[in-house]
Amino acid sequence: MIDEAEYKKMIKRCLRCSICKWIPQVQIKSQKYASACPAIDVYNFHPYSGGGKIILALALEMGRIQPSEELRDIVYKCTECGNCAVACKFLNTLEPLEIIIRLREKLVDSGYGPMPKQQAYIEAVKKKNNAYDELHEKRTDWLPEDVKVDPNAKILYYVGCTSSYRRKEMAIAAARIMNAAGVPFNILKDEVCCGSPVLRTGDVKSFEEVLNKNLDLIESKGIETVIISCAGCYDTFKVDYPLHRDYNFRVLHTVEFFNELIESGQLKLTKKVPLTVTYHDPCHLGRNAERYEEWDGDVVHLMPLVSINIPEKPKRTGSEGIYDAPRNILKKIPGLELVEMERIKEYAYCCGAGAGVKSAFPEFALQTAKTRIEEAEDTGANTLVSACPFCSTNLQDGIKDKGSKLKYYDISELILMSLGLEPEKLKEATAGVA
C-alpha cells in the first residue's frame, strides 16, 4: 500500500519505457510467451498497460482528464496480476500495481468505481457474507459426513467463498488430507468472506468492514494457525490485513502446510499418479504474496531521467512468493512428471480471473485463460494443476471453451490420489459406471 505522497511522487517517475508489457528480457524463451500483461494482450492499446495506467493517473492528478466511465472501464480492465510491477524493477523502482490499486480507490471516492457487477457482489458480501449471493447457512454444505472436524482445534481451515460454494472439491480434498495426516482442525459454520474481492475493486471502506467482521470471528475462537487453500484469501490475510489491522495467528497456504506434513513424514505419498503435469503459479500465491515495504526516502535527480534513491529503496521483485512448496509436493508424488511452462514463478502469466475481471469482463477473463491454457499445452503435459479455486474456475472455463484435451486438478486432489483416496471429480466421473 502506498500513501498519497508516494503515489504523487511515483506517477511522475514513469519512464514510458513499456518494459512493463513484457517479462524481463533474460526470462524470455520465445516471442509467443514474452508478454507479461493480460490487459495489453487483449485490448492492445497503451493505456491498458501498467505504464499506460500510470499516465492516466498523472493526467487525472494534473486535472487534464476528469473521472469518467471511460476512464473507469480502462482502469478496471486489469487483473491486478502484478506482472507489470515485477517487470518495472528491471529498469525503474515503481510500483505500477500499487498505483493502479490507488487509482481505483480514487475512482470509488469520486463515485465512478467499481464496475456495476462488482458493486453487486460487494453488496452480496455485506449482506450474505459471500461474493456469490448464496445463503450464509449453506456455507458448510460442502463438508462430507465422514470428515472429522475438531471444535477445540487450534488450527482453523479457512475455506473461503469460492471453495465453499463453487469449488467444493478443493475444500473436501484439503479436509480429507488433514484427516489422513491426523491433524486436528476446525472450520467455522459462520465463516465470512475474507474481503479480497471487495478490496481489489478499490472499495477500501467496505473491505475494512468485512475484514473486521472476519478477524473478530476468528480471534474469538482462540485460533493459533489459519490454513487457506485460496490464493486470493491467503494474499489478503498475509499481505493486506496487517496494513489495516494486526492479528496474532499464523497464516499458511495449504501448499505450505501440506509440504511441511510431507517433509515431516506425517503425510506419506505412496500411490503412483501417472500424469505429466504443468503447474500454474497463482498471482496471489506468487509475486503478490510478497509484501511491499513502505519506503521513506529522497529521490535525488542527477540529470534528466536519472535519479537515485537515498537510502536505497528495497525492491519488491516477487521472488519471495510461494514457489518451492507446490513444486516440492509435485516432485514427491510417485509416477508424476512435472514439466514447466515458459512463464513461471514471479514471471507467471495470470489466469485472467482476478480483481473483479471475471464478473465485470468475462470475455477478457476467458481470453486470458485460453492464452495460459495454450502455454500449458505447449509443454506437452496432459494435466494442468494449480493451487487456487479462482484460477481453477477460470482455467477450467478456458479448457472447455478452447476444446483443450488438458485435464485440470487442484494440487490437493493430486495429493489425495497419492494417498490412495479418490478426488470428488473422479467419483462423479465413475458414478454409475458398472
Binding site for ligand SF4 (CB under 6 A): 14-20, 36-39, 49-51, 53-54, 78-84, 87-88, 91-92, 94, 96-97
283 vs 376 by CB, closer to ligand SF4? 283
Residue with cell 478443493: 170
168 vs 287 by CB, closer to ligand SF4? 287
Indicate the burial class of 90 (C-beta count within 10 angstroms; 0-12, 13-18, 19 or more): middle
17 vs 239 by CB, closer to ligand SF4? 17
CA count, 13 A, side-chain hemisphere, 281? 28
36 vs 171 by CB, closer to ligand SF4? 36
Which residues, including other chains, have CB under 8 Å from residue 192's CB and lie 6 or more apart?
129, 130, 210, 213, 214, 217
Residue with cell 464496475: 115
Nearest distance in Å: CB 357, ligand SF4 = 8
Q: Is 274 left (phi over 0), alpha (psi -120 to 50) or beta?
A: beta
Q: CA-to-CA distance for 24 and 275, rounded, in angstroms?
A: 31
Residue 409, classed as helix, strand or coil, is strand
CA count, 13 A, side-chain hemisphere, 342? 22
Nearest distance in Å: CB 360, ligand SF4 = 13
**Are the C-beta atoms of residues 179 and 213 closer than 8 Å to each other?**
no
Nearest distance in Å: CB 68, ligand SF4 = 19
Nearest distance in Å: CB 4, ligand SF4 = 19
What number of residues does the chain have? 434
35 vs 328 by CB, closer to ligand SF4? 35
Task: Give φ, ψ of 300 to 5 degrees.
Answer: -100, 120
Extract the C-alpha cell encoding 278: 504443468
Residue number with the smallest Cβ distance to ligand SF4? 51
Nearest distance in Å: CB 10, ligand SF4 = 9
Nearest distance in Å: CB 353, ligand SF4 = 11
98 vs 413 by CB, closer to ligand SF4? 98
18 vs 307 by CB, closer to ligand SF4? 18
Nearest distance in Å: CB 77, ligand SF4 = 8
167 vs 284 by CB, closer to ligand SF4? 284
Nearest distance in Å: CB 144, ligand SF4 = 37
Cα dist from 169 to 135, 159, 178, 253, whole Å:
19, 11, 14, 17
53 vs 345 by CB, closer to ligand SF4? 53
151 vs 304 by CB, closer to ligand SF4? 304
What are residue 22's DSSP bridge partners?
Answer: 35
Q: Can you spell out the DSSP letters for 279-312?
A: E---TTTTGGGSPPPP---EEEEEETTEEEEESP
114 vs 423 by CB, closer to ligand SF4? 114
Q: CA-to-CA distance for 341 and 357, rounded, in angstroms?
A: 24
Nearest distance in Å: CB 343, ligand SF4 = 12
**Are the C-beta atoms of residues 99 and 57 closer than 8 Å to each other?**
yes
CA-closest candidate to residue 139, choices 148, 147, 131 = 131
Nearest distance in Å: CB 358, ligand SF4 = 13
Extract the C-alpha cell encoding 218: 476468528
CA 260 to chain CA centroid, nearest Å: 22
Which residues, including other chains, have CB under 8 Å from residue 320's CB and lie 6 or more apart?
289, 290
Nearest distance in Å: CB 213, ligand SF4 = 28
